Structure 1
Amino acid sequence: MTVRLSLDDLPLRAELRGQTPYGAPQAPLPIALNVNENTHPVPEDVADDILDAVARALREVNRYPDREFIGLREAFAEYLGHGLSASDIWAANGSNEVLQHVLQAFGGPGRTAFGFAPTYSMYPILARGTGASWIPGHREADYTVSAESAAEQVDRIQPDVVFLCAPNNPTGTPMTLDVIEAVYDAAPGMVVVDEAYQEFAPRDTPSALTLLPGRERLVVSRTMSKAFAFAGARVGYLAADPAVIDALRLVRLPYHLSALTQAAATAALRHAPTMLRMVDEIVAQRDRISATLDALGYDPSPSWTNFVLFGGVDDPAAVWRALYDRGVLIRDIGIPHSLRVTAGTEDETTAFLDALASLESGA
């Protein structure tokens, strides 16, 4: 009989011992609102155009893809605006790989990465995976962070890489540009503003992209997973000074973006106005969730994202399980007395709210 090895039997790096891989529960439930996906399907006409683009790319799939993915970078630059060009853009297989490239280039052994906790759970995992040490900062009780506090913490820690999730995951909290400017002025190294949920912020909200000119250590990352309903395609990107892009070339694997990925993402970007119309509906459902949670006696945090974190949950594990048993999957992200739910379609949102209300009524 073969004895199965454990991690303790392997010569694993010391900083990885005792760690667990990222993982949100996956279950075949009818209502899955736990990982902040855009639950709306890609519109049929957009899907048809993407399929045509992928089919054309398949005809030359025997050849390596464009290593510099120039066409896709040009498409991202046009989408973002702000005077950006292809030389200011980088992309990879999901924003996690984009952030990993940043850490590989500017973090690593003997260096530190920093963010204001609670924040995106992948930051410490990516930091440890690339050999850097993760140092958590703190937020106020309402999950905000002021420019003064942010600058003081960064100045005291002197991290090599700072991650600012704006708006923040898992709390939905916005971050104003004065905080980003204060952090940049205090930081000795790279400052990464993760705008994965920027499209869900109020339309007149300025992006950190406006701060890029003259700030060569500033990086603004985005994803196609949320607003573009492209989570399964795994496409993330960033904007930064061209010198930063050159640094990321040093650590990327050759031909890291497949020809099929490039074709699909470029085609989707051609339909940006159509794709972004879904955002308005998602925001409406997010606000509906917040209002109903408040009426039910919970404490929803203000959110500029496609999800709502709500407190006032006496037993999060029990509520999570009761919703699970009713066919609704949400997320327990480890914040005491709190749970997080993604804003889905109108029907999905109704199913969640009805299931939660049934717990209150004992139905």
Structure 2
Amino acid sequence: MSTTPIEEQPLPGGVADAAQLLGKAISQVQRVIVGQEHMVQQLMVALLAKGHCLLEGVPGVAKTLAVRSFATVVGGDFARVQFTPDLVPSDIVGTRIYSAKSETFEIELGPVFVNFVLADEINRAPAKVQSAMLELMAEKQVSIGGVTYPAPKPFIVIATQNPIESEGVYPLPEAQRDRFLVKVDVPYPRGNEELEILRRMSVSPPEAERVLNPSLVRHLQDMASNVFVHNLVAEYIVRLVLASRTPSEFGMPDLEGVIQIGCSPRATLGLVAAARALALINGRDYVLPTDVQAVAKDVMSHRIVLGFDAVADNVSTADVVERILAMVPAPTPVWNEQQRQASHEAHAHQPGRS
């Protein structure tokens, strides 16, 4: 095992090095979290794509523990904000405080000026607090007393919400849901995973070890933003988003009465960014249609608003996205022999690398 301090680790030189480093970070989180591989992967996708992540699940399925472990592995500053109905915006972003000593107003910044903000039970906060989060999430900055304060880099908001409670809960407005790159539904663990949770957590719970640091994360984010997206894949992404707005033009007239509002252009950008991040995690410097399909449900489902009848019939937005994926044809890569050989040499397995 390497003894090089994390702060002095060399930056990954290629895609294979980056994928190995990211795989190590994900495996450290999974030392603590049993199962939930999809949630852990999507947390890494959101970080690499410079987006925010919303986790939705019933209490006790390790949402908060996963975020804490993830922040430990990735490094940087971490803060947890417990959202409650009596919260006010200044509790989050900060405020001006009068100093009797200097006879001036001084700025006291809030707890959100860290690399990782865990907004626990975000749907318990009232509308004023939600509006204060909008500038922070969209612009990654906060304005207090006419002065703008940028958030540190990297910066990510990971929010959790409980879908089953109705008392003291304020549903997130569409404008704020749209600010989240991905929304991940966190299910109950399976039977064998539940047994492993009992075995692992009932004695001495494992702890994750730090693998990355902020400078490494910024470098990996730059690598993800440079992953190649072919024009055919880009057109496929646009068709998926357009199908959510005008489904009848894509052979799905029955969805016209189901979908009230389709995905915004932010979904198009989100699909590209998330697919690039997933390609890097998988050790590729190019995006495949399968990368887009793997992130489509988490990127698109929370941006689609269903009509009243569809909600009454218990139609879920995830089902709608799956229908769109099934009906919109994906481009098929066609290689000539020269391209195949070049690709094979560029991504050949090298000894000593997993």
- TM-score band, normalised by the shorter chain? 0.3 to 0.5
Q: Which has the higher helix share?
A: 2
TM-score, L = length of structure 1: 0.33
